[in-house]
Structure 1
Amino acid sequence: MWTAVMADPTVPIAREVLAMVVADQRQWTRRWLYPPLRIVSRVAVWLIRVVKTLLPIRLSAHAVMDRLCVWFLRRFVSPRAGELLIRHFLIETDLLAFIARNSGVAGVPEPVLRPTTLAGLGDRAVIEHDVNVYDVLIALGAGRPGPRGPLDFSMLGLPAIDASPQVRRWLRLDIQTALCLMNIPFALCLTTEEYRRAVHSMRLDESLMTVLAELTGDDTFLRWRPGGVVVRVDSGLDVPRAVYEHAVVHEYAHARLVALAAGGAGQASSRTA
């Protein structure tokens, strides 16, 4: 099965990145811990959201969430999974920066969130990561982007990533199992509205892939739209699974842009600049 996944010509990401994804999927924690923890996570988050909805005050603890997230990643998540998570933050920033720089619409902000370490995922990075998507789409407004001559691909190089492999882990979770557990403090430490905004931001991949297709004139991006409509706010979303698929779609889109920048549609390595 895994040989077929690695050889699949329809998967556009670089083979070394795909090898990381496959190795992460093959961890014992993904097979044995993820299924029960996925249920635990959904139940816990549902209970947290119900209680917070009933409370008369809005509760949030962003600093606590940041510190807990970084500590958890350094002590309980494999360096490989940590690297994949950092990659996602960098890649989403690249995609949004590409749109901002090439849209031809005045005033579109270009995100600057580029963490290269686990510590960089603190300091409100999770919140900024989600808000950046909204900021870019809001700024695009009614100015529909499209091919406007030579495109600027210069923002696509990824820096070296340090996921603290030298730090002793008490457990080395795969990324999906880690996301299940991290979803609980996210729901607890964000306000109800912040959490809903973060969840809905993944549905906006529908819009991002459409914009990328219009900018590049390449309909390949449309294949990776998640489906559904962005005007629907889905409270019952399986968040850890959605985050994982959201990250994979962004890997696909980034690899496609790198291939277009190189002047071809073949696979391209985007692991480091």
Structure 2
Amino acid sequence: MRPTPDFLERGHDPADPSPWLASYLDRSTPLPDEVKSAWLKDSSSRSRQYLLPLFRPLARAFIILIQIFKMVLPKRWSHSRLLHRILAWGLKRFVSPEANWLIMRHFHLGSQILAFIGTNSPAPITTTPLKPYKVEDYRDDLFVKHDINLFNFVIRLNQALRDQNLDMHPPERLDFSMIHEPDLPLESMPQGKLNFLDLQSAIELFTPLYQLLLTDNDFWRAANSLQLDETIGIYAAQLLSAPHHLILVNNNHPLVPLSTLRAGHRLVLHGLSSEMLHALLTQMRDAQQGAPEPAPLS
């Protein structure tokens, strides 16, 4: 049994209220308690408090230096397999169980969200799910495949809509069959003595490595994929007829690519947006299951 986060153990002190407890109890955003607890435990860790302010400026400085260094390297310079081996090694040995759990969940949730949109689109398309169950699964170029999957999905979906002269709109009845909680117990994540690094610090550290060992094209595509958060959010809102939920998506306008210097921070926002959209779809699935089936058309 995993330990209870400190902010839940201490409870509420009116003279010294905990911001983490306030965020945990707040229900203005749709997140399951288990996910919110893991997210806030990771966010309130000593690693994030003391290491992130050190790692973030260093990582951004390295991004600038690597960009200059790669000006003299061959354009096809790429060691993707080595990158993913290093990522898997680092995640397994140094990253906290909560951070590893949230990272692994992201692949499953992203696959389910794309499947939901692809299935319920007026021009349905199939998707290519990525569902790792252990850290070693990342070795198969999984992070790069995740970015490629996202762009291929947007291209294929919109080609299908254009070919049939259709616009995205809600179906008569939404299909939520692909939406479920991934079978990923937090207890199955690596829990060694050195697994202390928080999610945001790990992402900041890995971003320059990602840039160094991929081509410029692959790295920029990965950074620009974060701009598609709004795009995916709009698709979901159109299917759900719920545009107000777009307030949960905040990686900025999809047609305005941002500097790669903030890619680490934006990647955290990307993960949280996916968690919230999946939680929203789960709530709507449960509401639909409690509602009567629509009468057949005569």
- TM-score, normalised by the number of residues in structure 1: 0.91
Question: Is 1:186 aligned with 2:210?
Answer: yes
Equivalent position of 1:240 in the other structure: 264
- Which structure has the larger Rg over C-alpha atoms? 2
Change (3 A) 1:227 1:158: closer
Equivalent position of 1:157 in the other structure: 180
The one-letter code matched in structure 2 to 1:111 is T
Equivalent position of 1:80 in the other structure: 98
Q: Of 140, 157, 163, which aligns to 1:123?
A: 140
Distance 2:93 2:23 in 1: 30
Equivalent position of 1:34 in the other structure: 52
Equivalent position of 2:9 in the other structure: none
Question: What is the Cα deviation at residue 104 of structure 1?
Answer: 2.2
Question: What is the Cα deviation at residue 111 of structure 1?
Answer: 2.3
Partner SS for 2:126: coil
Q: Of 267, 276, 283, which aligns to 1:259?
A: 283
Partner SS for 2:127: coil
Distance 1:87 1:179 in 2: 15
Question: What is the Cα deviation at residue 227 of structure 1?
Answer: 5.6
The one-letter code matched in structure 1 to 2:173 is P
Question: What is the Cα deviation at residue 57 of structure 1?
Answer: 3.5
The one-letter code matched in structure 1 to 2:113 is L
Q: Is the 8 A contact 1:77 1:175 kept in 2?
A: yes
Q: Which has the higher contact order (CA 8 A, sep 6+)?
A: 1
Equivalent runs, 1:58-97 vs 2, <5 Å = 58-97=76-115
Q: Of 121, 127, 132, which aligns to 1:110?
A: 127
Distance 1:112 1:227 in 2: 23
Equivalent runs, 1:181-220 vs 2, <5 Å = 181-220=205-244
Partner SS for 1:263: helix
Can you give the 5+ residue segments of structure 2 that lack an aligned partner in the other structure?
Answer: 1-18, 289-298
Partner SS for 1:60: coil
Distance 1:50 1:147 in 2: 47
Change (3 A) 1:76 1:176: same
- TM-score, normalised by the number of residues in structure 2: 0.83
The one-letter code matched in structure 2 to 1:126 is F
Q: Is the 8 A contact 2:100 2:189 kept in 1?
A: no
Distance 1:130 1:56 in 2: 22
The count of aligned residue pairs is: 263
Q: Is the 8 A contact 2:77 2:213 kept in 1?
A: yes
Question: What is the Cα deviation at residue 206 of structure 1?
Answer: 1.0
1:207-266 deviation digits (Å, cap 9, x = unpaired) = 1100100011112332123263212222244111101011111111000000000117xx
Distance 1:203 1:57 in 2: 24
Q: Which shows bigger deviation, 134-143 or 224-233?
A: 224-233
The one-letter code matched in structure 2 to 1:158 is E
Partner SS for 1:154: coil
Deviating 4+ runs (over 3 angstroms): 162-167
Distance 1:110 1:75 in 2: 32
Q: Is the 8 A contact 1:53 1:192 kept in 2?
A: no
Question: Is 1:20 aligned with 2:38?
Answer: yes
Distance 1:28 1:260 in 2: 36
Question: What is the Cα deviation at residue 120 of structure 1?
Answer: 1.8
